[in-house]
Amino acid sequence: MGKIKVMNELLANKIAAGEVVEKVVSIVKELVENSVDAGATNIKIDLKEAGLREIVVTDDGFGMTHDDALLAFQRHATSKLYTDDDLFSIHSLGFRGEALPSIAAVSEIILKTCQEEVGTLIHIKGGKILEEKSSNARIGTQIIVTNLFYNTPARLKHLSSLYSELASVTEYINKMSLSYPNIKFKLTNDEKELLNTDGSGNLLKVIKSIYGLDIAKKMLPINVNNDDYEVSGYISLPEVNRSSRNHMTVLVNGRVVRNQTLGRVINDSYSSYKEDTRYPIVVLNIKTDPTLIDVNIHPSKQDIKFSNFEDLKNLISNGIKDVIKTKLLIPKIEIKEEKEETKYENLSLNLERNIVSDNSNENKELLTKLVNFENIPNNELDNEEEKDYQEELPKEKLPELYPIGLALGTYIVCENEKGIYLIDQHAAEERVNYEKYSYLLSHPNNNSIGSIVPIVIELPIQDYIIIKNNLNILEDLNIKVEDFGQNSFRVISHPTWFPEGREELTIRNIIETIKEEEKNFNLAKFRDHVAATTACKASVKGNTRITKEDMESIIDKLRKCNNPFNCPHGRPTIIHFTIYELEKMFKRSI
């Protein structure tokens, strides 16, 4: 008897689920895309325990008949493709006919749908129909998914944490709401609202719902086209950027796609205006004839291929550059008005404990001093830390150097009996600050200070969820925060060693580092990353004229560093030209 047999349909669906249903966001994606294809104007996604316990997607689309509802759970059953030619002109988000049977094979599903006067309810578990009957007549469809991966424990075991799964779902729904601003999306988790758009069709309103008002004010509209493609949406000012590419959203005919080449094109268009390691916030919707693209590459339908790709890349690159050039790229300082009831003169601040009380009028002088930060010496707030750090400094590793000038506004020119030295002023001060901050991070104490003007950090909801789950890291760094609205934190206090005037920037850098390192968090690497990032921001920049006293200060501190020869990123801080090498170049020595 032969060994080859045709596998049964249930087993085939379980195998297909491995490609279609990887985690919670995969299920949400397939169900939401079906709702969009069904012409829904309201889509509600309700999760319990980040979707691991229950996923409910409810829409007001055109629903299904009883026969269609049964047929929808059969593999390769679809209402979106009928002929071979349809495959080359796909107008819908879904088309493969694999999602519902794949989900049903590894979970328990209750489908309630109605297109006519009587609705239909179908109950399926592990791919087997347990119940089918008539139900209420609410036009639209509701799908409830529970017992996810109950019959594939290996898949269940390798799901991410609740917070990671929820962050992935939130990120996807954010992108879908950007793709379809005319659809009202509502996302909740454990009955807590995470996103609620108005479905008015105004893309900028959706951006505000996701990123906040401050970011929305700094978004620039873009609208360019050629014979094949029309590109529209919003791009951020260069000053608005993030540490990851996740905030560059590319949509093709309303479909959220991933294309590394387009990501590079978008980021390179900003190359003259920002750091290479930072990425803009971008929402681009590319409209084109479906025959010019191919989305039938992967079951996720997020990979895509384009015809006339070079023309599209040039269109996007030139469009972004032209929009940026039309704006005066000088960041505006927005002074927010204080609420009338906030009267600082009636408060007393205890700097050591950061306690605000109502019963002290004797500290007005202290408050006046705090408000005028420019009157405070740089080290007055962190004398103890500075003293401890100075005691830990090693013996000098560089010879005595005598500065004689500054070349190109960037390189300190020094000399001594051994020759001439060129010192990169930014790299040198960055090394000095890096070692200082590394020491302070690895020797934490309780010295902290609050801000007279509150620091409020507003985050996209998926980032807020990640930080909320990692507040212990901020506490370990002596940063105390509290919830301030739906997806914001107010900084209560922070370490006294934070660079003066850069407190908010330092905290934002730390928050972005937590987001990047969340999955593979290592305390030592985290501290090193924070120290390097903070040091870079706090150091004198290239092409900045400094005084001779500043040069001497940088050189003196650099000589005491553990490694005075490289900045934290590996670039050299100092180059030495010996007397012999100089004389050889000038033919004075043979």
State which CATH number among 3.90.1150.10, 3.30.565.10, 3.40.50.300, 3.10.580.10 fits the domain covering 9-201: 3.30.565.10
Residue 123 has pLDDT above 50, yes or no: yes
Q: How confident is the model at residue 331 (pLDDT cuts 50, 70, 90)?
A: very low
Write out pLDDT tens, residues 13-33: 545 544 557 789 989 998 998
pLDDT at 343 (0 to 100): 38
Domain span(s) for CATH 3.30.230.10 in the chain: 218-325
Token pair of 172, please? 């996807």
- Which is more confident, 250 or 275? 250
Residues 6 or more apart in contact with residue 218 via CB below 8 angstroms? 236, 237, 239, 240
Domain span(s) for CATH 3.30.565.10 in the chain: 9-201
Judge contact between 163 and 156, C-beta under 8 A: no
Q: What is the mean pLDDT of residues 159-181?
A: 89
Q: What is the mean pLDDT of residues 409-421?
A: 89
Q: What is the mean pLDDT of residues 187-201?
A: 92
Residues 6 or more apart in contact with residue 287 via CB below 8 angstroms? 229, 230, 231, 232, 253
Domain span(s) for CATH 3.30.1370.100 in the chain: 377-576
pTM confidence score:
0.63
Half-sphere exposure (Cβ direction) of 340: Cα atoms closer than 13 Å = 0
SS (H, E, C) 356-409: EECCCCCCHHHHHHHHCHHHCCCCHHHHHHHHHHHHHCCCCCCCCCEEEEEECC
pLDDT at 190 (0 to 100): 93
Please state which CATH number belongs to domain 377-576: 3.30.1370.100
Write out pLDDT tens, residues 250-265: 988 888 888 888 888 9
Judge contact between 193 and 277, C-beta under 8 A: no
d(CA 196, CA 187): 7
Backbone angles phi, psi at 422, to 5 degrees: -115, 125
pLDDT at 138 (0 to 100): 82
pLDDT at 222 (0 to 100): 94
Judge contact between 91 and 290, C-beta under 8 A: yes
Write out pLDDT tens, residues 369-383: 323 333 333 333 344
Q: At what angle do helices 425-442 and 548-559 cross, to 10 degrees?
A: 50
Quote the DSSP letter at residue 344.
Answer: G
Q: How confident is the model at residue 523 (pLDDT cuts 50, 70, 90)?
A: low
d(CA 432, CA 539): 9
Specify the range with the lowest mean pLDDT, choosing from 274-288, 362-376, 495-509.
362-376
Q: What is the mean pLDDT of residues 427-451?
A: 81
% of the chain beyond a pLDDT of 90 = 24
Residue 396 has pLDDT above 90, yes or no: no
The average confidence (pLDDT) of the chain is 77
Class of domain 218-325: alpha beta
- Which is more confident, 31 or 293? 31
pLDDT at 566 (0 to 100): 75
Write out pLDDT tens, residues 69-115: 888 887 655 554 444 444 444 545 644 557 788 888 888 999 999 98
